[in-house]
Structure 1
Amino acid sequence: MSVGHSRAVRGSPLGRAVAGVVRLVLAAILLGFALTSDAVHDYPHYAVLILVHPLIVRQALGVSLEPFHIVWVSVALFVHPLGGILGLYDTIWWWDHLTHLMSATLVAGPTYILARAYYLSGQTPIVPGWTVPAAVVTTTLALGLVWEGIELVHPWLIVYSDEDTAMDAVFNAVGALATVATAPRVLGGLVCQALPADTFTGTGTSAEVADRGDDHDRHPEFDPGDD
């Protein structure tokens, strides 16, 4: 059992309703294009991901996304197929940069949650706090390189130039760094859900790890609040 099961997921009923509507609208747009054009046959799976990603995250990470997270993930999943369908990659010079930045957060976010929860759980020897952001940036850049490799062999993906590939890596890094910078507040509640239940009880090594240095000052997972 994790701490998150004892805490209410933040977000008003209105917020959850808005997040649900956003998911349905974005998925419907992609499915509509897929049903009316044979030029977007590789995009319907994005619609499926938009619809089911909260369930995937719950099963894979054991956390329940808040409305803000659901909307962000849905939009981040939507920008790439939208760019392909409407030709925005060719008509808007910064669209590819935006897509890579937002997609990078979809890798960096889960990586932060897992790495931060593991770091705080006491299941690992004492290591410097910078190992978590380092893991986030390294993982995001590594998977970005894997994607660039897929682009080289995928018949429907286009590699424009070496300079374009380099800029993709730059914006992958920007997305990872932006996630690291905002994660303590934006993802702190999800880290709390992923922590073992005894992290806040003062038992075992979990309490010792939770008492590391200035982490109390910067990470809201140490403040369960009054939910």
Structure 2
Amino acid sequence: MINSLQPLIGPHRLDALGAWVVTGVLVGGTGRFAAGGEFDWAVLTAVIVAVAVAVPLAARNLETTVPAELLGLVAVPVLVRTFGGFPQVTPFLVVAGVALLLAVVLDAYTSLTMTPRFATVFVVIVTMAVAGVWAVGIYATDALLGTAFLDGQTELMWDLVTAAATGIVAGVVFELYVERSARIARLRVSEPDSSGFDRSEASLPGDGRHHRIAVRALQAGLGAIAVFALVRGNVTLFVNSGGPLAITFLPAVFRREYGYAMDTGLVLWITVASTLHAAGALELYETYGWYDSLTHAVSASLVAGVGYAVARAVERHARAVVFNREFRATFVVLFVLAVGVGWEILEFASGGFASAVGGEAVLAQYGTSDIVNDLVFNTVGAFFVAVWSTAHFEGIAARLTGRVGSLASRE
């Protein structure tokens, strides 16, 4: 049994009346924000209005709207903000609400279709990704125009933490709403057919034997760094070398446990990314600014590939989920931005923990510019995969599809 989002939009006279009332309130809020000089909030509110109005316009029926209770829920942070409440939280609540409405509208009026569970994940990812874009944008504004939107690294990181928490809460609320909505129809979906799935995995340049030699050499280097860290009693360096070394052995684990022989070029790609990070812990990050950017771009390209593979696996397994090429590319970039925000939060938490208990942070941040630089080059790596390299991850997507289907059949 699987849910469909499409029943959330339909002709309901009484419900449409409520939706139009909420829309009118939002139009008034847009004017109030604009008159008060809060143009950022005026734009945010206008976006909600545009999404709400787009539905009846597309249906050519004033009684066909998004559910009034859902639109009202999205409008709550706007109303709270008009009274000056919770200025740090409400912007991200609005972003999460817009992502939620977009998921419903895209499902109803485009070739895209997604289940409520995937829509929940989409809301979380979009909220975190927008927070990353916002961080880069206001930093650039401060640097180029001399504004002072950011008070420092700590304020920026707490904004990212708030965005992540807000996205998760919004996603959970949306899923609970869908489970209890009378509009949602339960549709029985047959077992997925993956026979048409292209299981070919594009090979990276080079010979397989040369790839394996390079992988072993890099693993030896990682092992040497880990041993050096143990001898010196450097816990931070050991974690930052031992962890990446363990990651390089995952392809071998997949081959032994699941019979999946990953392309040797992709294994080399993973090993290079791991080695770059471990070598960076040998003070290369602090010495060479470009090295940190390179490492983040390469690592982000792998994260982007994982995001693509997951999206393709979900799409192939659940027939109620259909994406097009443009959406897959967009999802890859959003996924990497969200993971990048999550990584910065981990680094921030690591620093806070080290400050509380004493000692050196396992994952370090080097100021606001470092955070923004990381987010920018994460995006560079994501764009590279989204535009040129998704074919390298089709094999992983095929394997994930089989695993998801196997787990589903056991349930």
TM-score, with structure 2 as normaliser: 0.41
Which residue of structure 1 aligns with residue 5 of structure 2? none
Which residue of structure 1 aligns with residue 304 of structure 2? 108
- Could you say what secondary structure the match of 1:142 adopts? helix
Q: Which runs of 5+ in 2 are unaligned?
A: 1-192, 351-360, 403-411
Q: Work out whether residues 3 and 195 of structure 1, in 8 Å CA contact, stay in contact via their aligned partners in 2.
A: no
Deviation at 1:184, TM superposition (A): 4.2
Which residue of structure 1 aligns with residue 346 of structure 2? 150
Match of 1:95 among 284, 291, 316: 291
Out of 141-150 and 121-130, give the one that drifted further. 121-130
1:49-68 matches, within 5 Å, as 49-50=247-248, 52-55=249-252, 63-68=260-265
CA distance in 2, matches of 1:153, 1:112: 28
1:171-182 matches, within 5 Å, as 171-182=377-388
CA distance in 1, matches of 2:330, 2:258: 20
Which residue of structure 2 aligns with residue 72 of structure 1? 269
Higher relative contact order (CA 8 A, sep 6+): 1
Deviation at 1:64, TM superposition (A): 3.3
Code of the aligned partner of 1:22? A
Per-residue CA deviations over 1:79-136 (Å, capped at 9, x if unaligned) read: 0111112x21122220111111111112111211221243355622444442212221
**Closer/same/farther in 2, CA of residues 184 and 9 from structure 1, 3 Å limit:** closer
Deviation at 1:61, TM superposition (A): 9.2
Code of the aligned partner of 2:275? F
**Closer/same/farther in 2, CA of residues 80 and 7 from structure 1, 3 Å limit:** closer
**Closer/same/farther in 2, CA of residues 122 and 158 from structure 1, 3 Å limit:** closer
Which residue of structure 2 aligns with residue 47 of structure 1? 245
- Report how many aligned residue pairs link the two structures: 191
CA distance in 2, matches of 1:171, 1:183: 17
Bigger Cα Rg: 2
Which residue of structure 2 aligns with residue 32 of structure 1? 224
**Closer/same/farther in 2, CA of residues 2 and 92 from structure 1, 3 Å limit:** same
Which residue of structure 1 aligns with residue 122 of structure 2? none
Match of 2:372 among 151, 154, 166: 166
**Closer/same/farther in 2, CA of residues 2 and 32 from structure 1, 3 Å limit:** farther
Match of 2:393 among 187, 192, 216: 187
Code of the aligned partner of 2:279? L
Instruction: Give % identity.
Output: 27
Code of the aligned partner of 1:119? E
- Could you say what secondary structure the match of 2:300 adopts? helix
Q: Work out whether residues 307 and 335 of structure 2, in 8 Å CA contact, stay in contact via their aligned partners in 1.
A: yes
Code of the aligned partner of 1:96? D
Q: Which runs of 5+ in 1 are unaligned?
A: 197-227
- Could you say what secondary structure the match of 2:362 adopts? coil
Which residue of structure 2 aligns with residue 137 of structure 1? 333
Code of the aligned partner of 2:276? V
Per-residue CA deviations over 1:177-200 (Å, capped at 9, x if unaligned) read: 11111134433455456566xxxx
Deviation at 1:15, TM superposition (A): 2.9
Deviation at 1:29, TM superposition (A): 1.2
Which residue of structure 2 aligns with residue 16 of structure 1? 208
Deviation at 1:73, TM superposition (A): 1.0
